[in-house]
Structure 1
Amino acid sequence: MSAKHAVHLDGIAALAERYEVFLLDQFGVLHGGQQPYPGAVEALSALKRAGKTVALISNSGKRAEPNERRLLKLGFEAGSWDHFVSSGEVAWRIFRNMADSGALRAGTRCLLISRDEDRSAIEGLPLVLTERGDDADLVLIAASEGDRYDLDHYRRLLGPAAARKVPCFCTNPDRIMLTAVGPGFGAGEIADLYEQLGGSVTRIGKPYPAIYEAALALAGHPALSDVICVGDSVEHDIAGGNAAGVSTALVMTGILADRSDLTGLFADFGAWPDYTLGAFRWR
């Protein structure tokens, strides 16, 4: 389908008449990191009252539980979603399976790039934290502090590991993040830098398949025709939904709040939504 065929809707009530399973992004759709968007709390609760299965699917390097705590703190109603699938949670389970099989040895030195000193990405894993790139066995990019540091900071930190070809995993492929002081560079940009420095990166999260497979499994393997993915990123939410074979809706908040040249954006990523919404609200 082409971008010109995307149907514009005033709210998600029309989608609730058509779809049974909703895969919802959080940042840029439900909230901007500091507070919910107008109408988002009510719309999320209305979906559950309508009997829909709601899975929040997020490129957050944090595990599911701290993400859910944040939503409750922001004022979202407990029980207004069924599942929370973060890229950090998916990655943690992959690492856990690797440890159980012996593919990840105990005592592996991990250079963790996170935010707010969050360690949930590695809790319970047989990893030993290091703050140096020259003795790391593994690099895990879970988040960005691009509002505190510039890319040169990360270049100095990661350069020695990249030069040694240390394997790197990025559990938040977003190149742009929303902060209290405006958009900043995300963990995906740091992963790009690691590759530019000579390293290789395995990315976990949208638009890559593993996070959709996990979400659809939790939702009971529904018919793909009953599923819609809602997000604010063409690169991640729309492209990922297209690849997963589900319908998609693009919300014009978050990183797209000031964008008008959407046709070019769709063409750049080869991804087109079925619907567009001004914001995530019921009507």
Structure 2
Amino acid sequence: MTRIIESLADIAANYDALFCDLWGCLHNGIAPFPEAVAALRGFRAGGGKVVLLTNAPRPRHDVEVQLDGMGVPRDCWDVIATSGDSARLAMFQGAVGHDVHFIGEERDLTFFEPIHLLDPCPEVRRVPLTEATGIVCTGPQDPHADPSAYRGEFLYAKTKGLKLLCANPDIVVDRGHERIWCAGALAALYEEMGGESLYFGKPHPPVYDLARRRLADLGDSVPDSRILAVGDGIATDIKGALGEDIDSLFVTGGIAATETRTVTDPDPDALERYLAQEMVTSTYAIGKLR
């Protein structure tokens, strides 16, 4: 049975590193959560390392700039691993060819900047769908619009046998009090229509390999048994931790607040029903990171 805890400090001594989600745990897309910042600071003060592991479809430098802009202090984390960097490496290595049709917002065009892990870095060209060897999706062009708007494009792409590279497996996130669609919703639709989607963020292994690499770059050799994954996404953060055999802390007050009846803490019965319904389990649960 999942253990409901009062604070990260209750279990911090059991771990040397955190793989901590961002949206819904550390911030709401607009501003940081003060209690979460304090919890991560406390973990680092005790000698722990904090890897911010995010399904953001952008290079880690862009995420750093975003965090600075919303006031997340740099002393509450050590390093960042993004699904964007994991997906970029696969793209430049030719996972969907080198003439790609791009689906995403203008701000995500940094996705196509050369990646330092490849020298020389192959060229990837953005082309119309009719000329493409594959699709790269960082998210819908309009995150408020229903993903079904892409059915026409996806039917054509499926007929051509194009693969879709999904840079963010999240289905939705909450920006403040507003729920918006992510690339995972489009990738799921493409699969439902018979197309093939390739995923590189949580819960899929490549982004965890990247997170371990980032952790090792800090000079620490941390076994998986001493890593705790923290997140509010049952199908991404918690399922991913299970797949990697890493302990997890489920933050129930994020996108699953209604299902777990979380006000301050999750309702124990509602939490267990939700976990059983999702066929996933977490080591611990907490209403919000604190």
**TM-score category (smaller protein):** 0.7 to 0.9
| Cα shift readout 1:67-105 (whole Å, capped 9, x = no counterpart) | 111111121112432221111111112334x26xxx876
Q: Please state how far the C-alpha of 1:43 moved relative to its aligned partner.
A: 2.1
Which residue identity is paired with 1:75? G
Aligned equivalent of 1:123, options 97, 105, 113: 113
Which residue identity is paired with 1:276? A
User: Distance between the aligned counterparts of 1:218 and 1:175, measured in 2?
Assistant: 26
Which residue identity is paired with 1:265? Y
What is residue 206 of structure 1 aligned with on the other side?
202
| Cα shift readout 1:172-209 (whole Å, capped 9, x = no counterpart) | 11112223552233211100111233321111111111
Contact kept? 2:102, 2:126, Cα under 8 Å: yes
Sequence identity percentage: 26
After the TM superposition, which parts of structure 1 deviate over 4 Å for at least 4 consecutive aligned residues?
Answer: none
Aligned equivalent of 1:85, options 81, 87, 90: 81
TM-score (norm: length of structure 2): 0.86
Contact kept? 2:96, 2:165, Cα under 8 Å: no
What is residue 240 of structure 1 aligned with on the other side?
240
Contact kept? 1:55, 1:83, Cα under 8 Å: yes
Aligned equivalent of 1:109, options 71, 94, 99: 99
TM-score (norm: length of structure 1): 0.88
Aligned equivalent of 1:27, options 4, 8, 23: 23
SS in 1 for 2:174: strand
What is residue 271 of structure 1 aligned with on the other side?
280
What is residue 138 of structure 2 aligned with on the other side?
142
SS in 1 for 2:229: strand
Q: Please state how far the C-alpha of 1:168 moved relative to its aligned partner.
A: 1.3
User: Distance between the aligned counterparts of 2:277 and 2:140, measured in 1?
Assistant: 25
Aligned-pair Cα RMSD in Å: 2.0
Alignment of 1:190-229 (within 5 A): 190-220=186-216, 221-229=221-229
What is residue 39 of structure 2 aligned with on the other side?
43
SS in 1 for 2:108: coil
SS in 2 for 1:276: strand
Stretches of structure 2 lacking an aligned partner (at least 5 in a row): 115-121, 261-269
Relative contact order (alpha carbons < 8 A, sep ≥ 6): 1 or 2 greater?
Answer: 1
User: Distance between the aligned counterparts of 2:64 and 2:107, measured in 1?
Assistant: 18
Stretches of structure 1 lacking an aligned partner (at least 5 in a row): none
Q: Please state how far the C-alpha of 1:121 moved relative to its aligned partner.
A: 1.5
Alignment of 1:169-180 (within 5 A): 169-180=165-176
User: Distance between the aligned counterparts of 1:8 and 1:145, measured in 2?
Assistant: 38
| Cα shift readout 1:41-65 (whole Å, capped 9, x = no counterpart) | 2222222222211111111111111
Alignment of 1:251-266 (within 5 A): 251-260=251-260, 261-266=270-275
Contact kept? 1:234, 1:265, Cα under 8 Å: no
222-231 or 188-197: which moved more?
188-197
The alpha-carbon distance between structure 1 residues 59 and 18, as it changes in their structure 2 partners (threshold 3 A), is same
What is residue 56 of structure 2 aligned with on the other side?
60
User: Distance between the aligned counterparts of 1:253 and 1:163, measured in 2?
Assistant: 41
User: Distance between the aligned counterparts of 2:284 and 2:156, measured in 1?
Assistant: 45
Contact kept? 2:22, 2:54, Cα under 8 Å: yes
